[in-house]
Structure 1
Amino acid sequence: MANKLIKKIEITGMITLLTGLHIGGTNSSMSIGGIDKAVIRNPLTNQPFIPGSSLKGKMRSLLEVSIGANLQRSSAQVPNGPSKDGSAADLFGNATGNDTQKPSRIIVRDCVMTNAKYVFEKTELPYTEGKTEVVIDRITSAANPRQIERVPGGAEFSLNLVVNIWEKDNNEEELMKNLFKSLKLLKDDYLGGHGSRGYGQVAFEIADIKEKNVSSFYSETGNSAKSIKEKYKAEVESLHQN
C-alpha cells in the first residue's frame, strides 16, 4: 500500500538578527574601495533575504553534530556529508538514490525582511551596512583592509516551516522534537558566514503552530486549520529563553 500524506504542521514566526548577518550573493559590480563580499538579495525588491536552503542546511548540520550522525558517514563520497539514516535523515531526508532514500519531511521557506522600511532608513547602504575588517601581516605589520556587507542587527525576517506527516509515520513527536532542537542549537550558534567573528547571532519567536489535516483542511469544505501551539508550549518557551 502506498504511503499517504495525512497532514501538514505549519510553524510561523520571526527571526530577529542580534548581530550582523552575511549570507553571500553575487558581486554585480567591482569598484575601488567598494564592498568586497556582497549579501544575497531579491533581484525584484533589492532586499536581503535568508534563503531557505541556508537555514535548513544549518539546522540539519547542527542536529547531526549534536547526535554524532555525520561523524562516521559520507554522502556521494564526501567525508562527513549529510547522514543517510537516523533521526536527522528522518526529518531532513537523504539522497542515497536507492531504496533507502528518504524524502525530506520539512519544508523551509525563504525568509523575507519584515521591517524593511525601518532598516532602509537606518542604513547607509540599501538595507545593509559595510563592515570594515583588517588583516594584519604578523611580520611586516602591513594592513590589508576589506569591506564585508552584512544585514545589521535588529533586522527581522519571517519564519515559515512546514512538516509533512505521512500515514506510515510513527515518529511525529520525534520529528517535532528534533525540529525545535535544531532551532535551539542554531540560536546558540550562528547563521551565515564569519560566525566566529560575531556575525549571524539570531533569535526565534514562534507566533503559531497549525495542523492542517488533508481530509478536512484541503477538502471541498475547507475547514480551518487547528492551532496546536499549546501542545508544544514547553518547546516554544524553551526556544524563547535567553
Structure 2
Amino acid sequence: MATIKLAKKIIYTGTITLKTGLHIGGTNAALNIGGPDKFVVRNPISNIPYIPGSSLKGKMRALVEIAKGCVSSDGKASDNPNSVSGELFGVATGKDNNRPSRLIVRDAELDLSKPEMFDNTDLPYTESKTEVAIDRVTAKANPRTFERVPAGAQFKLNMVLNIFEGENEQRLKDTLKLALRLLQDDYLGGHGSRGYGQVEIKLDPQEGRTEMY
C-alpha cells in the first residue's frame, strides 16, 4: 500500500474586513419580541459573532469550482481528486478516489481591539436592518428584519495549508490565493445579491511559520 508523508505546514493569518454588513445565520432559539427575524451565528459562551470556518471554506471551494469549470451543467461538482479544486479542498465520495483536504480553515474571531466601534450598534456587536419585501401581484409590503455584523468590523483569518511530499506546492498555494481573490469579488454569507457580505481580505506579509515534520 502506498504511503504519504507530510512535508510542511504553511500557516496563513490575516484580516477579513467587512465592506458591507454580514449575515451568516445562527439559531433563532429564543423568542425576541421586537427584535430581528433572522439572527447571526454567535459564540454561545461569549455571545460574540464569528465567521464559521465551514462557511468560509465552503464559499471558497464553490467559487474555485465554478471558475475552473469543475461544475456540470446540472449543478453537480466534480468528484475528480486531481482537479484544481479536488487537490486543495479534497474529495469525499465514499469511493476509492477519496482525497483528504489539504486546507484547514479556522473559525474567524471578531477583532475586538477597538471596542468603541460597536458603541452605537443597537445589538451587541451587530446592527438590525429592516427590509421590505413587496408582493409583485398585490404590492403588499412585508417587512422583515435581519441582524448583521456592521461594515467596518474585522475578523481574524487563520488557515493551515498541508503540503505532502511529491505534491505541487506552488499550485496549491496559487489555488488558495485564487479562492481569496474570487471571494473578494463575490460575497460571504447570505443575501449577497442585495448588497450583504462584501469583504476585503489581507494576508499578513509573512505566511507564518513553515516547519518540517
TM-score (norm 1): 0.82
SS in 2 for 1:41: coil
Aligned-CA RMSD value:
1.5
Structure 1 residue matching 2:207: 3-state secondary structure: strand
Q: Which residue of 2 aligns with 1:20?
A: 21
1:108 aligns to 2:105 (yes or no): yes
Query: Given the alignment of the two structures, is residue 80 of structure 1 paired with residue 82 of structure 2, yes or no?
Result: no
Runs of 4+, deviation exceeding 3 Å:
none
Shift of 1:184: 0.3
Give the number of equivalent residue pairs.
Answer: 208
SS in 1 for 2:119: helix
Partner of 1:131: 129
Shift in Å, 1:70: 1.5
Letter paired with 1:174? R
Pairwise mapping of residues 81-230 of structure 1 onto structure 2 (< 5 A)?
Answer: 81-85=76-80, 86-115=83-112, 117-169=115-167, 171-207=168-204, 208-215=206-213
Write the letter of the residue equivalent to 2:102: R
Query: Within 2, Cα distance between the matches of 1:61 and 1:46?
Result: 29
The aligned residue for residue 226 of structure 1 is: none
**Corresponding residue number in structure 2 for 1:39:** 40
Q: Which amino acid aligns with 2:166?
A: K
Residue 196 (structure 1) shift? 0.2
After TM superposition, the score normalised by the length of structure 2 is: 0.92
Higher helix share: 1
Residue 140 of structure 1 deviates from its aligned partner by 2.8
SS at the partner of 1:210? coil
* 1:31 CA displacement: 3.8
Measured in 1, the distance between the counterparts of 2:70 and 2:77 equals: 8
Q: Matched residues in 1 for 2:34 and 2:144: separation?
A: 8
Q: Which amino acid aligns with 2:90?
A: G
Aligned-partner Cα distance in 2 for 1:9–1:160: 11
1:206 is matched by which residue type in structure 2? Answer: L
In the alignment, is the contact (CA less than 8 A) between 1:21 and 1:200 conserved in 2? yes
CA contact (8 A) 1:16 1:154 kept: yes
Q: How does 1:50-65 map to 2 (within 5 A)?
A: 50-65=51-66
Whether the aligned pair in 2 keeps the contact of 1:7 and 1:211 (CA below 8 Å) is: no
Give the superposition deviation at 1:211: 4.2
Does the aligned pair in 2 maintain the 1:131–1:149 contact within 8 Å? yes
The one-letter amino acid of 1:83's match is: S
Distance (whole Å) between structure 2 residues aligned to residue 32 and residue 145 of structure 1: 15
